[in-house]
Amino acid sequence: PPRCRERARTPPQAHLSAPILINVPAEIETPRLLLRCPRAGDGVVVHEAVVESLQELRVWRASRPWAIPEPSVDASEMFCRESQAAFIRRTSLPYLAFERSSGRFIASTSLHRIHWEVPRFELGFWCRSSAHRQGYTREAARALLELAFTGLAARRVEAYTDELNVASRQLCVSAGMALEGVLRHERVDRAGTLRNTCVFAAVR
C-alpha cells in the first residue's frame, strides 16, 4: 500500500469551518512513485511533460481546457504555485508524481471539487505520453483513493471521463471505481461536437 510520510490524523469533520487545519500528507510513496504537492520551481518539468503530451491531451480538450492554449514555462510555473496555494488552503489536493528510481516527472493527479462536509472528492489524473501503458497513473490514482478513504474519511470519490477515452475509463475501473452512468450530450467541444461523459465512483 502507499506510504504517507505524514498521516492525515485529524478527522475532516473536526475542521469544517477551517479546512486549512485538516492534516493532509504533503508526500506519498508508492512502490515506484513519489507523489508530492507542487511547489515553486516545478514549472520547468511540468512544462516539458505538457509539451511532450500536448497533441494527445488536445484530443480530449473538451475535458482538459487548460491543454488548449500554447504552453509556456511561466504558465506551468503559475499552475504549480497556484496548486501549492490550493493545497495549503485545502480547496484542492494536487500531487505531482515522480519516478522514485530516476526522479523523472511522470504524472499529475489530484483530489479536487472537495466537499469536506460529506467528505466527497473528484479524482483527476493525466500522464506524460512517454510513460503511458506502464501502470504509473493507475498506481498514483490508487494512492489518492487510499488517501481519501483511509486518511480523509471520504464517503465518495468520483471521476469523469470522456466516453471515447477508453484508456481513462479502463484506469478508473482498474483503480477500483465503478461506472455509475453516462451523461449524454453533456459537453460541446471546440468543433461544436456533442460529447458524452462517463461518471465513475468509489464509495465507502
pLDDT of 76 reads 94
Q: Taking the model in full, what pTM does it have? A: 0.88
Instruction: Classify residue 81 as left (phi > 0), alpha (psi -120 to 50) or beta.
Output: alpha
70 contacts: CB under 8 Å, gap ≥ 6: none
Give me 55's grid cell: 497533441
pLDDT tens-digit series, residues 106-144: 999 999 999 999 999 999 999 999 998 899 999 999 999
Cis amide prior to 119 (ω within 30 degrees): yes
Max distance between CA atoms of the chain, in angstroms, equals 47
pLDDT of 154 reads 96
Q: Which H, E and C letters describe the chain, residue by residue? A: CCEECCCCCCCHHHHCCCHHHCCCCCEEECCCEEEECCCCCCHHHHHHHHHHHHHHHHHCCCCCHHHCCCCCHHHHHHHHHHHHHHHHHCCCEEEEEEECCCCCEEEEEEEEEEECCCCEEEEEEEECHHHCCCCHHHHHHHHHHHHHHHHCCCCEEEEEEECCCHHHHHHHHHCCCEEEEEEEEEEECCCCCEEEEEEEEEEC
pLDDT of 161 reads 93
C-alpha span between 61 and 55 (Å, rounded): 10
Which ranges of the chain have pLDDT less than 70? 1-12, 14, 58-69
Give me 175's grid cell: 483503480
pLDDT of 8 reads 53
C-alpha span between 174 and 135 (Å, rounded): 10
C-alpha span between 115 and 132 (Å, rounded): 31
pLDDT of 18 reads 86
